[in-house]
A and B are shown apart, each in its own frame.
Chain A
Amino acid sequence: MMNSKMGRIDAAFLAFLTVALVVAAVVTVGGKFWWLPPLASEHGKAIDTLFIVTLAITGLVFVLVQLFLALVIFKFAGSEKRRAAHFTDNKALELIWTIVPAVILTALIVSGGRLWSRIQIAEPPEDAFKVEVWGEQFRWTFRYPGKDGQFGRTDPKLISVENPLGIDKNDPAAKDDIFFFAGEENLHIPVNKPVVVYLRSKDVLHSFYVPQLRVKQDAVPGMVTRTWFVVTKKGEYEIACAELCGLGHYMMRGVMVAEDEKDVENWLKDQLTVADVLP
């Protein structure tokens, strides 16, 4: 059963493939041929750092383990002429390879936990720019709270062709709200200022995803979810949907325009309010 020659060939080939895998991985990942989108947000920096650290750790483990695997495959290819070694435990070794991963993982847990608290649990600043983003099959639309800084009440029962978000026009806070019909307008937000996005959905689950900002948050019907961020570079950013929402999921593209705050204010001044559109 132990055909040494065939075994040596299999061993050599598999070891070679494993080494080739390691080399290919190191070159393609280390060379950043296909890499993270260019960063444009404040909190994104810490995310990217944590990502790189995790990549370094997992990369190192990957290289060491795979090379070790290649080594043992090649070195211990069998033969009739010898016997395997016989050992079943090694308390010291086992302790090391339990404690070292545990320590590394604890470090990842602690740093990840702290960053997560900052991003998701901490409250956004009081003076943050507020905007509501609505997802529906298969477009995004937006609502601004207007001068009073408050969003008027909405009720899905009020949704109609003329009133696509179901705004209760009798609510005084709603009168100065600015909203758009889905697919027709872009999202304008100020650059270099905290922006809070309240996420809503009219129908099924959607997810508000802006790759360059490291922002992703599900929009759930019947709930208001929230994410906030600071955009650090002016420009246009694509909004993609990141939760399967039906046959047009891949078409659900929106555009977020990050510009100076005064430009956002001027643009808002030109838009129609609820009082104009829903008499």
Chain B
Amino acid sequence: MEQKTAHEHEIAHKPESFWTKYIFSQDAKIIGIQYLITAFLMGFFAMVLSWLMRIQLGWPGKQFPWLERLMPNAMEGGVMKPEFYIALVTIHGTVMVFFFITAALVGGFSNILIPLQIGARDMAFPFVNMLSYWVFLASCIVLISSFFVPGGPAGGGWTMYPPLSSVKEALPGSGWGTTLWLLSMALFIVSTTMGSLNYITTVLNLRTKGMTMGRLPLTVWALFVAAIIGLLSFPVLFAGAVMLLLDRHLGTSFFTPYIVVAEQHIPREGGFPLLWQHLFWFLGHPEVYIAILPAMGITSEVISTNARKPIFGYKTMVASICAIGFLSFIVWGHHMFVSGMNPWLGTAFMTTTLVIAVPSAIKTFNWLATLWGANIRFTTAMLFAIGFVSTFVTGGLTGLFLGNPPIDIQLHDTYFVVAHFHMVMGTAAAFGIFAGTYHWFPKMFGRMMNEKLGKLHFFLTFIGVYLVFFPMHFLGFMGIPRRYYAFDQFQSFAAAAGGSINLLISVVAIAVGLAQLIFVFNFVWSAFKGQKADSNPWKANTLEWQAPSPPPHGNWGDELPVVYRWPYDYSVPGATEDFIPQTVPTVTVQTEKDGGEVKDGKVS
């Protein structure tokens, strides 16, 4: 299959039929929307799974006949089976991390934003781009199908540690369910690898004239570095998954030592469970930065545009993105402080983990400085972007506890960890997705989303996520372990045995989940009936707003845009407008010293 460049592709191949235009499209804009919608659907699926978990935790021991009718195997007698509970934990985590957050931010927004924001017609490899989406969809289907196999879905946690996951005798879900989980992850990794190749190549090679790396919007920088991280780290998990499949089906001993499960001898030799942990977290940790960097990029963009101010510290923002990208590869051992690994490694990983807090702090202060002296326009996107800063600060700070091994001894595998990662990933990264969706919806669909519904969605969600996840820190203080189906066995954990904290969290979690329906309704209704949008409703500078809403196939018509400045010329003193798009060559401003040109934020 010969690969055409985006240029040649556009000239030779304008899609004609409904199928090539909207279904098997090679246009990044459509592929991006496909990713986004699929990711949202997977996210809702995972949210429903979390509701089931919260029902068990909020009302432990209560019988639910209507649930038994829906799921007779999992809810025999109206009471949830513990093996189903940990299957829910596993699939909820897996879907949220990979199939919602990563797919929406990396698959969705890379496609929606990169070609447009760099002035290209499409991605470098449009066919591979299309393939990456369909392989992603296949991975979704394989994972969901694991609910329908004997033994049910995998139950080893999204971390899938062996030997629990390598030996089918150890857990019902460690039969077919885990095999399907591994196959699904393998497909997912193939999809992200194809995507990464596209995004990196496109950013490096297809920037339009005048678009130097130093004039790239921060969204593109973030997505670019995230793609590099993904390219280097995902294959390690792929290798681990293959090895785990071999342990499971061919009797190898990569991770599985000689063990005895339920009196059955499982004859292996020399397997090392910690090897899986190293391989998994070598991906697992960079993965969370793959998730958060695009959300940070979106936040920078949305804040700058709606604050009508240049982003503060562009160069240090870029440097921080790169630093986070690099450092993310050398912190993974902080998930393994008490795993039995050599304690000296613990010291090493503690150092790198606490160091990575510095670039994150710099970015946070840069956002705050951007807001200082701003002229803030509170669109829904802006609210979510500010919400990102709020929740990222809360979640990021708790990382300082967990990154310090002596403290981690007490907090590891407790609800403190659950609180931490839900604040940074479950709220902050998700807020990044919402901010991006509300902000770029007009560009994607040519219509505005309803602002009133958007704000209602924001405030309900903002209040709700804090009420759900902040109390989990308290459960962590009390030492309550995670992944527990119930807490009534232990006097030490009596506070969590259906107590007021778990009840509050469950009630609010279900309410917040239902509030997301406002967003769904808004999204679907606005796509068809929303107020028509012009090309630049936010009066923003970046290139995508210089194209029609939505842009045609090929994005730019006959002439590619030419870039003359960076994207952050907002509220330049003396300029007529409070924004200067990147395509504007020169602007005359009134300054104290008559005349002069404005370029890249400097008056010359």
Smallest distance from the beta carbon of A182 to chain B beta carbons, Å?
12
Interface set, chain A 56-87, CB cutoff 8 A to B: 57-58, 61-62, 65-66, 68-69, 72-73, 76-79, 82-87
Chain A neighbourhood of B340, CB < 8 A: 199, 217-218, 220, 223, 225
Given A203-B261, A244-B161, A116:B400 Cβ within 8 A: no
Instruction: Scan residues 325-373 of chain B and give those whose CB is less than 8 A from a CB of chain A.
Output: 338-340, 343-344, 346-347, 350-351, 354-355, 357-358, 361-362, 364-365, 368-369, 371-373
Residues A247 and B263 in contact in the complex (CB < 8 Å), given A156-B258, A214-B410? no
Q: How far in angstroms is the closest Cβ of chain B from A57?
A: 8
Complex CA gap A11/B6 in Å reads: 44
Chain A residues near B261 (CB-CB < 8 A): 137, 203-204
Contact B501 A85 (CB under 8 A): no
| B568 in contact (CB, < 8 A) | yes
A34 with B495: in contact, given A101-B361, A113-B347 (CB under 8 Å)? yes
- A220 touches which one: B156, B274, B347, B459 (CB < 8 A)? B274
List of B residues within 8 angstroms of A113 by Cβ: 347, 350-351
The answer on a CB contact under 8 Å between A109 and B364 is no
> What 9 A-B pairs come out closest when comparing CB atoms?
A222-B257, A85-B373, A34-B474, A211-B479, A120-B343, A84-B375, A247-B83, A225-B340, A10-B378
Asked whether any CB of chain A lies closer than 8 Å to the CB of B265, the reply is yes
Interface 1/0 per residue, B522-545 and A, CB below 8 Å: 000000000000000111000000
A14-B383, A76-B372, A117-B347 are contacts. A86–B377 as well, Cβ < 8 Å? no
**B260: A residues at CB distance < 8 A:** 156, 159, 166, 202-203
Report whether A76 and B262 are in contact in the complex, using a CB–CB cutoff of 8 Å: no
Q: How far does the alpha carbon of A9 sit from the alpha carbon of B87 in the complex, in Å? A: 44
- 27 pairs across A/B with beta carbons < 8 Å? A1-B537, A14-B383, A14-B386, A25-B470, A34-B475, A50-B407, A69-B390, A69-B393, A76-B374, A76-B376, A83-B573, A84-B308, A94-B365, A98-B358, A108-B400, A117-B347, A203-B259, A203-B261, A204-B170, A205-B161, A216-B410, A222-B271, A223-B273, A238-B492, A245-B164, A249-B86, A249-B485
Determine whether B554 belongs to the interface, using a CB cutoff of 8 Å to chain A: no
Q: Is B107 at the interface (CB under 8 A from chain A)?
A: no
Query: What is the count of residue pairs linking A and B with beta-carbon distances less than 8 angstroms?
Result: 332
A105 within 8 A of B: yes
B171 touches A238 (CB 8 A): no
Q: Which residue of B lies closest to A160 (CB)?
A: B263
Given A36-B478, A205-B161; A216-B412 close (CB under 8 Å): yes
Q: How far is the CB of B152 from chain A (nearest CB, A)?
A: 11
Q: Determine if A7 is an interface residue (Cβ-Cβ < 8 Å).
A: yes
Q: How far is the CA of A237 from the CA of B162 in the complex (A)?
A: 29
- A54 x B161 contact (CB < 8 A): no
Complex Cα gap A33–B473 (Å): 12
| Closest chain A residue to B336, Cβ basis | A218
Q: Check A264 for interface membership: any CB of B closer than 8 A.
A: no
The 8 A CB mask of B475-501 against A (1 = contact, 0 = none) is 101110101111101111101000001
B315 contacts which chain A residues (CB < 8 A)? 89
Residues of B within 8 A of A2 (CB): 377
Contact of A88 among B398, B459, B538, B568 (CB under 8 A): B568
Q: Which residues of A contact B477 (CB under 8 A)?
A: 34-36
Which of A25, A108, A202, A225 gathers the greatest number of chain B CB atoms within 10 Å?
A108
Cβ 8 A contact of B86, one of A102, A166, A247: A247
A17-B463, A36-B477, A113-B347 known; A10 vs B455 contact (CB < 8 Å): yes
> In the bound complex, what is the Cα–Cα distance between A137 and B570 (angstroms)?
62
Taking A6-B378, A218-B338 as known contacts, 16 extra A-B pairs with beta carbons closer than 8 A to each other, sorted by chain A number, are A1-B377, A14-B383, A17-B463, A18-B390, A37-B478, A62-B394, A65-B393, A66-B394, A72-B372, A83-B571, A105-B357, A115-B406, A202-B259, A225-B340, A238-B491, A250-B483
Once the chains are docked, how many angstroms separate the CA of A108 from the CA of B354? 8
Q: Please, how many angstroms separate the alpha-carbon atoms of A1 and B455 in the complex?
A: 15
The answer to whether B310 has its CB under 8 Å from any CB of chain A is yes
- B478→A88 contact, CB < 8 A: no
Render B501-525 as a binary contact track against A, CB cut-off 8 A, 1 for contact: 1000000000000000000000000
Q: With A58-B397, A156-B258 in contact, is A112–B405 under 8 Å at CB? A: yes
Chain B positions 70 through 96: 1 when the CB is less than 8 Å from some CB of chain A, otherwise 0? 000000000001110010000000000
- A203–B571 Cα distance when bound, in Å, is 65
A97 at the interface (CB under 8 A from B): yes
**A119 proximal to B (CB < 8 A):** yes
> A221, B163: Cβ atoms under 8 Å?
yes
- Per-residue CB contact flags for chain B residues 404-419 toward chain A (1 = under 8 Å, else 0) read 1111011011100000
